[in-house]
Amino acid sequence: MHLPDDSLSYLLGEKYTNALSIPFIFDDLDFRYRTQIDILCEIAAGKKIIHLGCVDHNIDTVKHKMKRKKWLHARLCEKAERCFGIDIEEEGIRYMQEGLGYSDSACVDIFSEEFEALALSDDWDFLFIPEVLEHIEAPLAFLARIAEKYRKRFDKLVLTVPNGLSRDNYLLAKQGREVINSDHRFWFSAYTLAKCVAGAGFDLEEIRMCRHGTINWRAFRRNRFYRKYPLLRNDILCQARFR
């Protein structure tokens, strides 16, 4: 899925309107209903990547997702040529290394000198930042700093965030409720994520709408609905190139 070429001037703030209508350009892949994990693993296959936020909250979350084969870092390590995991959760990294054997990982802040040295240690293809941006206090400034510091260290950035315009959120709103991770600060849409990425200094390449979690293939009607209406899925995946 792409935005029209004339939307770039709005993404960069060169033009303004309070009623911008975005006619997204879809391709055949947009009408395939897929999980976030499947798409990320496909992108990572045979590549050298750094996975920011690899712990996924805490040890209990890792254990729970491991049982269901839904822990993203393990799945990425199966596909990538090299997948180095970083997180600021010291206990979680220790568990990954000592309890699970994922030694190619570190408890490190992405803006530290230690990470800068790590970024120089190999020829990396991608920096993966899945399900992190919605937790960050200032997401645009966060991305802009990454773009400035690491433009010569990675080819591409891969992001995923929750979709504020999902069908699930609409149905909950009709009931007068919002269901959200209590640590989230933001919801995103395809356009607002694209605006953050472009404004931070990246060249947006594509956006994919996907399923966060598993797909129940027995739910034929629901799956058919999500194939037909990509923008109503509950997760947004974005690829962008470092300038």
pLDDT in tens, 150-190: 999 999 999 999 999 999 999 999 999 999 999 999 999 99
pLDDT at residue number 192: 98
CB half-sphere exposure, 127, CA atoms < 13 A:
25
* pLDDT at residue 195 greater than cutoff 90: yes
pTM listed for this prediction: 0.96
Element (H, E) at 204: strand 202-210
pLDDT at residue number 83: 98
Structure letter (DSSP) for residue 230: G
Domain residue limits, the chain: 49-123, 131-243
* pLDDT at residue 41 greater than cutoff 90: yes
Helix (H/G/I), strand (E/B), else coil: 62: helix
Q: pLDDT-derived band of residue 204, with 50, 70 and 90 as boundaries?
A: very high
Phi then psi for residue 207, to 5 deg, are: -125, 135
pLDDT at residue number 121: 92
pLDDT at residue number 191: 98
Q: State the sign of the Cα–Cα–Cα–Cα dihedral 46, 52, 57, 58.
A: positive
Q: pLDDT-derived band of residue 114, with 50, 70 and 90 as boundaries?
A: very high
Q: How far apart are CA 16 and CA 116, in angstroms?
A: 37
pLDDT at residue number 58: 87
CATH no. for 131-243: 3.40.50.150
CB-count burial class (<10 Å; 0-12, 13-18, 19+) for 202:
buried
